[in-house]
Structure 1
Amino acid sequence: MRVVVAGAGLAGLTAAVELVQAGAEVTVLEARGRVGGRMHGVRLDDGLVVDGGAAYLGIRHTELLRLVRECGLEVVSTPMSGDSTFLLSGRTTTTASRVPPLDAVALGDLFDKLEELVGQVRPDAPWLSPNAEPRDRLTVAQWLAEHLGHPDARTFFPLFLGEMMAADPSAISVLHMAFYLNSGGGIRYLNAFEGGAQQWRIDGGAHRLCEVLADRLGDRVRLGQPVSRIEQNVDGIVVQDGAGSRHHADEVVVAMPPLLAQRIDFRPGLRTPRATPATGRGCAVKVHLGYPAPIWREHGLSGWSVSTNGPLLSTVDDSPPDDSAGVLTGFVTGAAASAFSALSATGQRDAVLAHVGRLFPRLPRPTKYAVTDWLSDPHSMGCYAALFGPGDWLSLGPTLTEPHGHVHFAGTETSMEYFGLMEGAIRSGRRVAAELIRGDAAIPTSEEALAR
């Protein structure tokens, strides 16, 4: 069996390795000059690489933890010792809690409403959930206006949504929000460091996992070769890359974000789209600030912060485990990410440094600085994951994992478990590999049907 895998992110590489182990002849085509997709190591200093993309994992991410062990890698804890910092409406405060100093009753009411929504969605098929249609037509911003009256709840909610999903409330449906939070293990798990989804990082950077998988595949991985066309006929499949090279296959795995998969010229054409005009980019920019050491700890601070005004809506301590350097990672998400991405490099740097000066006035100026802008990345079109807008789950959900003839789809956005996370990417890659190894019947394209 000849298989072409389009995309050398975690899903594509996972599928490719398992197919090779089963005896398939595999070629992996990747548009970038590197592997990893939305897992990207950024060199902040000599010997210091930080996670520009996906970074965190927890105890429930069983397939990811197993793969980390198989690849000979280690996990390290995300440090959270010390007080949190909050910059709310221009006022900076510190507290031992991660809960911002806002009205506790209003925040409690917010989370009660969210828990109720999350509990009503079907994680295996959200489009079949009770009230799926009205909830998929309603944006989260509209839901917010109808259900949250207290100003503190309205202030906090976009910050929470940005941290969890890198989304602006106006860009996603209520059904998508509820499904995402359910799929990831629930609100409490997703939001937690110790015992939660942000408990650990992969030592040396999450991208190392993809590099190990790519090393196993060797010259089967071909970089700088974006897939532009996939043509199926009774004689097989021809995959054409951006340079005009043609690759012959019996089966194809498309392991790309939906917006990129939609750009491929499928012949015959797709019966149902991979994305719609409502499908959005994950709105995330990561900013890394380097210091000689995690100096904030000397002042009793954890490095964790939340701000109502950007650009850094939150920060976290991502220093290496030996404390040989200090690393603050800032997250610019939602509408703030779009505004930040539009600034010049100088404008971005000035805004970040001014903000950090307000958050942590006792810290010196950082010695290192890096920005990873996923919104402007043409080979990802956003991060953490694609955002399903109004109507998307009703139109896209039933066919997310359905093959198009001999073309199969992987990627974290096709996983009903841990959608948007590294765990979801691995599970999707293993699902597709298992389908091909078992020889599950392909769904005929219109051209195959005519050939009969």
Structure 2
Amino acid sequence: MSGRTGPSAVVVGAGIAGLTAATGLAARGYRVTVLEARDRVGGRTHGIEAAPGAWVDAGAAYLGDRHTELLALMAELGLKTTPTTMLGASRFALDPDPSADPGRAATRDGRFPPLNAVALGDLFEQLAELTAAVHPEAPWLTPDAERLDALTAADWAEQQLRHPDARLFFPLFLGEMTAADPADVSVLHLAFYLRSGGGLRYLNAFAGGAQQDRIAGGAHQVCERLAERLGPRVRLGEPVRAVHQDADAVTVHTAHGSHRADVAVLALPPLLADAIDFRPGLPVPRAGDRTARGCAVKVHLVYPEPVWRDHGLSGWSVNARGPLLSTVDDSPAEGRIGVLTGFVTGAEAHRFAALTARQQRAAAAEQAAQLFPMLPEPIDCHVTDWLNDPYSKGCYAALLGPGDWSRLGPTLTTPHGRVHWAGTETSTAYFGLMEGAIRSAYRVVAEVLARG
């Protein structure tokens, strides 16, 4: 395979990790082919044109000043940031009683909910202690890792959280941070996720935090511009079925043909990677029996303008009942329309995803109007169901359940012969974020070059 034309690589997956890896290898003389199952590039970034020339992020969206590799890549691609608008008061509908009037939401300055401050302070203190104890590069080496990895976040909350306000808020917080139901993730994964992302305070913050900015015009542009550079080397509509190796090469089989190369880079979520036929087989699977899909459905309600701002509201809300467990103002900077983005996460995502499109729109619009009574009828509604997306199997990232880190963690990035692994789930820095995806790609490029 190597020779006068240079070494070759097949990259599976045209998300941020795959395209960044492909670009890096191509720049170093590799003949690169990128195989993407979808009819678009972008992976778990996806842009929706909510109005002519006005794009919103249906997938990954936010970044902060610590996301240095993403910011550097954006600068190289000519992309700018736009601040996440958070001016004004927040709305909180935190009565879990189904008979309660959701229109009686509380309005508060800032984002701290109108719950018992001591109870929430104790919750955050316990989470901070767990986070500080995690081994940042090898979570399975964390002190008491076996116990923490066997315990679900739901079990931990049952044992540790005494005050009803802490018990109420914990799943809402977890859903916002990780798109997880507490029963789906281990305590070790929860603590690692917070540590990996820069800590609880940084991950949860807009100004000065991980949600400070968005990419002007949409995060999908990162992949589109990388793909433009690669040109015809990116092949869409080619889901990979099998990866077979022999002494000389690796062959990647799709529904449309086979691609033989010196190395393969698989930039796929673990659940997708495990569905591929590997020969020889993987010594350790990419996912376990308890590995779950990230439970996220994203809803964009489009209005003629962001009318909530005229009433001193930021568009931010937190809600004990769904479908929209939180909302945020994602209106384009140009101000031509108002976009209220709702996040449906955890167990609520499963319920919402089972509704018809008409039912989804009606439920989301009704709840938004209860939270923000000044709203007119939305002029449009876009629902992006990542939970049931066949080529993502969840978002923001895979949820590592009980036992996953202990069993799968040590081989997270270990090459399988000529097969190398990329993707945000393989990064112990900024796991689940765009920054983690890029860092995983740089690691893979270095690995491939090192093998010669």
Bucket of the pairwise TM-score, normalised by the shorter protein: over 0.9
Q: Pick from 315, 328, 331: which aligns with 1:316? A: 328
Contact 2:185 2:402 in 1 (8 A): yes
Q: Pick from 69, 75, 78: which aligns with 1:72? A: 78
How much has 1:234 moved relative to structure 2?
1.2
Q: Which has the higher mean CA deviation after the structures are superposed, 364-373 or 58-67?
A: 364-373
How much has 1:277 moved relative to structure 2?
1.3
TM-score, normalized by length of structure 2? 0.96
Q: Pick from 97, 114, 133: which aligns with 2:146? A: 133
Contact 2:18 2:422 in 1 (8 A): yes
Give the Cα separation in 2 of the matches to 1:362 and 1:2: 58
Answering whether residue 400 of structure 2 is matched by residue 350 of structure 1, we say no
2:3 matched to which residue of 1? none
Answering whether residue 48 of structure 2 is matched by residue 42 of structure 1, we say yes
Q: SS of the counterpart of 1:357? A: helix
Taking the TM superposition and a 5 Å limit, the aligned residue runs for 1:161-240 are 161-240=174-253
Give the Cα separation in 2 of the matches to 1:128 and 1:412: 20
- The alignment's C-alpha RMSD in Å is 0.8
What is the letter of the counterpart of residue 248 of structure 1? R
Answering whether residue 366 of structure 2 is matched by residue 393 of structure 1, we say no
Answering whether residue 67 of structure 2 is matched by residue 61 of structure 1, we say yes
Contact 2:139 2:405 in 1 (8 A): yes
Q: SS of the counterpart of 1:154? A: helix
Answering whether residue 18 of structure 2 is matched by residue 12 of structure 1, we say yes
Q: Pick from 431, 439, 442: which aligns with 1:427? A: 439
Q: SS of the counterpart of 1:28? A: strand
Q: SS of the counterpart of 2:21? A: helix
Q: Pick from 98, 109, 120: which aligns with 2:111? A: 98
Q: Which has the higher mean CA deviation after the structures are superposed, 65-74 or 88-97?
A: 88-97
Q: Pick from 398, 419, 426: which aligns with 1:414? A: 426
Give the Cα separation in 1 of the matches to 2:78 and 2:121: 42
Deviations 1:78-124 (A, max 9, x none): 00000001111143010112011000010001001000100110110
Q: SS of the counterpart of 1:134? A: helix
Contact 2:301 2:365 in 1 (8 A): no
Give the Cα separation in 2 of the matches to 1:427 and 1:275: 21
- Note the residue ranges of structure 1 that are not aligned, 5 or more in a row: 441-452
Taking the TM superposition and a 5 Å limit, the aligned residue runs for 1:358-397 are 358-397=370-409
Deviations 1:260-296 (A, max 9, x none): 0001100000000000111000000000011111111
Contact 1:400 1:414 in 2 (8 A): yes
Answering whether residue 430 of structure 2 is matched by residue 436 of structure 1, we say no
2:346 matched to which residue of 1? 334
Give the Cα separation in 1 of the matches to 2:91 and 2:113: 9
Deviations 1:123-142 (A, max 9, x none): 10000000000000000000
Answering whether residue 129 of structure 2 is matched by residue 123 of structure 1, we say no
**How many correspondences in the alignment?**
439
Give the Cα separation in 2 of the matches to 1:235 and 1:384: 37
Identity of aligned residues (%): 63
Give the Cα separation in 1 of the matches to 2:400 and 2:188: 9
Q: SS of the counterpart of 1:217? A: helix
How much has 1:242 moved relative to structure 2?
2.1
Give the Cα separation in 2 of the matches to 1:121 and 1:134: 13
Give the Cα separation in 1 of the matches to 2:145 and 2:371: 41
Taking the TM superposition and a 5 Å limit, the aligned residue runs for 1:222-301 are 222-243=235-256, 245-301=257-313
2:4 matched to which residue of 1? none
What is the letter of the counterpart of residue 388 of structure 2? S
What is the letter of the counterpart of residue 142 of structure 1? D
What is the letter of the counterpart of residue 322 of structure 1? E
What is the letter of the counterpart of residue 379 of structure 1? Y
What is the letter of the counterpart of residue 57 of structure 2? D
Give the Cα separation in 1 of the matches to 2:128 and 2:94: 25
TM-score, normalized by length of structure 1? 0.96
Give the Cα separation in 1 of the matches to 2:337 and 2:86: 16
Contact 1:286 1:372 in 2 (8 A): yes
How much has 1:177 moved relative to structure 2?
0.1
How much has 1:414 moved relative to structure 2?
0.1
Answering whether residue 148 of structure 2 is matched by residue 142 of structure 1, we say no
Contact 1:87 1:307 in 2 (8 A): yes
1:449 matched to which residue of 2? none
Deviations 1:119-172 (A, max 9, x none): 110110000000000000000000000000100000111100000000000000
Give the Cα separation in 1 of the matches to 2:356 and 2:155: 32
How much has 1:344 moved relative to structure 2?
1.1
2:99 matched to which residue of 1? none
Q: SS of the counterpart of 1:60? A: coil
Contact 1:58 1:197 in 2 (8 A): yes
Q: SS of the counterpart of 2:375? A: coil
1:156 matched to which residue of 2? 169
4+ aligned runs moved over 2 Å, structure 1: none
What is the letter of the counterpart of residue 98 of structure 1? R
Q: Which has the higher mean CA deviation after the structures are superposed, 420-429 or 287-296?
A: 287-296
Q: Pick from 17, 27, 51: which aligns with 1:21? A: 27
Contact 1:83 1:302 in 2 (8 A): yes
How much has 1:376 moved relative to structure 2?
1.2
How much has 1:439 moved relative to structure 2?
2.2
Contact 2:123 2:161 in 1 (8 A): yes
Deviations 1:158-201 (A, max 9, x none): 10000000000000000000000000000000000000000000
What is the letter of the counterpart of residue 326 of structure 2? S
How much has 1:45 moved relative to structure 2?
2.0
